[in-house]
Structures are given as C-alpha cells and as structure tokens.
C-alpha cells in the first residue's frame, strides 16, 4: 500500500447467503461513481465463493480470536454482524478508514465526509444524534438509553453505524475498552433486542461516551435524506 493510499473504504461481507456479496458488489460500483482513487477493502469470512475486482483488497476475519462469553456466536447476528463490526479496525489495511454497510446506495457525492472527519480531530467519527451534553434522545435503545447512561455513569450519544470513519489507532481503544464493556453489559442495562442479540450501535455509543467523543449530526442528517442516500437497501 503506497502513501497515497492511506485512506480507504471497508465493507463487511459475512454469512452463508450471497445477498451481502451482491450488495457489496453494488456498493463498490457505487463508490466508484464518486471516488476512483481511494482503495476498497472487503472484510469477510468467505474468500472462496465470490469474485471481486482485482484492485479490491480482501481480509479474512478471525472470529475465534474475538469471542467473549457474554456475546454468543451461536446467534447469527453476533457471528456475522456484531463481531465483524466491532473488531473491524484490527483488519483494515488503511491508516484512515471509512466503513460502509453493504446495503447502502449513495445518490450524491459523499466524499466530503472525509473533510468532516479530519475537522473533528477525533480518532473515530460516527453519525448520530445527541444534545449539547452528548446525551442521546431518550427514546433510543428501546426507550432505555437513560438507564444505560445512569448505570454506566457516562453520557452516551445515539449512533448510526451504517457509516464510520476512524484512524487505525482506534483498534488500540477497542483493545483497552471492549472487555470492560462486554463484561458489564447486564450491569449497564444494555438490551439484547436486535435479532435476539446486542446491537453494535450501543457498543460504539458507550465507547464514545467513555472517550467523551461527539457524533456527527451533519453526516447523520445527510444520510437519512432519501435524495442523498438510501442507507438500508437490501433489494439486490
């Protein structure tokens, strides 16, 4: 990887269905409508059955090295969604990474998000919502976020992890903080109500709270406008 490729995009493709491969292939073409220079990496558990463009970097996720007793890998969401999204920064080949959920479709140029990220002066920037005290709207996390903030002792923003931008150093933060969070999920009153498991968003939100990092309301508001982006399109 040359110096001019210090920035790049990362997409997760996991599971037994080829649906996420098709969505990722669509997203690769979509990214190239707006950015022909920054490289793209696929993080996956399946490198054998799918064919990507030659310039796409492939990284294989090692699930076993990340398992925790409180996050069951018998749950398909945990296995194919949660664990890869939480530990992706260990695998990125880029110094600065923009993670994108595979089911996104951009309708306008999104690449100025890089500038917003650098202006934030944070190791990670995630779209979301919060008040001036970094507190999520009260109805988030199934109307339970106030309990999570009380029990964790930190203010926590709402996150929208369909897109995240981070520095490779973020993996050091995961290394330092993630076991503390995983070990205390029940004590913090975190709810496992997403596909019978824990949503990755609440983990990132707690991390931001512990770091006193802000979310990007600007990117959040752009992403949810249908004229800009369809952030959850699984029709392939």
pLDDT number for residue 57: 94
189 within a domain of the structure (yes/no): yes
Helices (H) and strands (E) in the chain, counts: 9, 10
CB 10 within 8 A of CB 99: yes
Q: Cβ distance 197 to 75 under 8 Å?
A: yes
Residue 175 counted as domain residue: yes
Instruction: Say what the pLDDT of residue 2 is.
Output: 42
**What was the pLDDT predicted at 1?**
42
DSSP strand E in 136-198: where?
Answer: 158-159, 163-167
pLDDT at residue 46 in the model: 78
Give the residue numbers spanning the domain of 51: 3-230
pTM of the model: 0.95
Q: What is the DSSP string of 53-98?
A: -TTSEEEE--GGGG-BTTB-TTSHHIIIIIHHHHHGGGT--SSEEE
Q: Assess if residue 7 is contained within a domain.
A: yes
Tens-digit pLDDT profile for residues 12-44: 999 878 899 999 999 999 999 999 999 999 999
Structural domain includes residue 76: yes
Q: Give the CATH number, domain containing residue 56.
A: 3.90.550.10
Torsion angle, CA of 92/128/140/88, rounded to 10 degrees?
0
155 vs 30: CA distance, rounded Å: 36
Domain count, the chain: 1
The residues of the chain scoring below 70 in pLDDT are: 1-5, 47-49
Task: Report if residue 16 sits inside a domain.
Answer: yes
Q: Is residue 235 part of a domain?
A: no
Contact 128, 202 (CB under 8 A): no
Tokens 């959920």 belong to: 101
Among candidate residues 198, 176, 175, 173, the one with its CA nearest the CA of residue 188:
198
Query: Shortest CA distance to 31 belongs to which of 58, 47, 7, 65?
Result: 7
The tokens describing 9, both together, are 């995009």
Helix (H) or strand (E) holding 124: strand 124-125
Can you read off the two tokens belonging to residue 198?
């824990």
236 occurs within a structural domain: no
């Amino acid at each position: 990887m040359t110096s001019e490729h210090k920035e790049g995009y990362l997409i997760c493709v996991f599971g037994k269905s080829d649906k996420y491969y098709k969505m990722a292939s669509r997203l690769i073409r979509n990214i190239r409508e707006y950015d022909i220079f920054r490289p793209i990496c696929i993080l996956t558990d399946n490198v054998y059955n799918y064919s990507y463009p030659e310039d796409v970097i492939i990284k294989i996720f090692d699930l076993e090295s990340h398992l925790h007793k409180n996050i069951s890998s018998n749950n398909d969401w945990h296995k194919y969604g949660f664990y890869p999204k939480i530990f992706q920064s260990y695998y990125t080949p880029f110094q600065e990474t923009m993670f994108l959920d595979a089911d996104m479709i951009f309708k306008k140029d999104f690449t100025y998000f890089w500038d917003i990220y650098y202006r934030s002066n944070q190791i990670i920037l995630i779209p979301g919502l919060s008040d001036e005290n970094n507190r999520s709207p009260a109805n988030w996390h199934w109307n339970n976020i106030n309990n999570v903030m009380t029990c964790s002792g930190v203010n926590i923003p709402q996150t929208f992890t369909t897109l995240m931008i981070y520095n490779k150093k973020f993996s050091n933060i995961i290394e330092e903080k993630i076991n503390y969070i995983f070990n205390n999920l029940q004590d913090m009153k975190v709810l496992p109500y997403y596909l019978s498991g824990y949503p990755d968003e609440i983990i990132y939100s707690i991390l931001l709270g512990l770091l006193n990092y802000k979310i990007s309301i600007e990117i959040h508001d752009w992403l949810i406008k249908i004229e800009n982006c369809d952030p959850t399109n699984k029709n392939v």
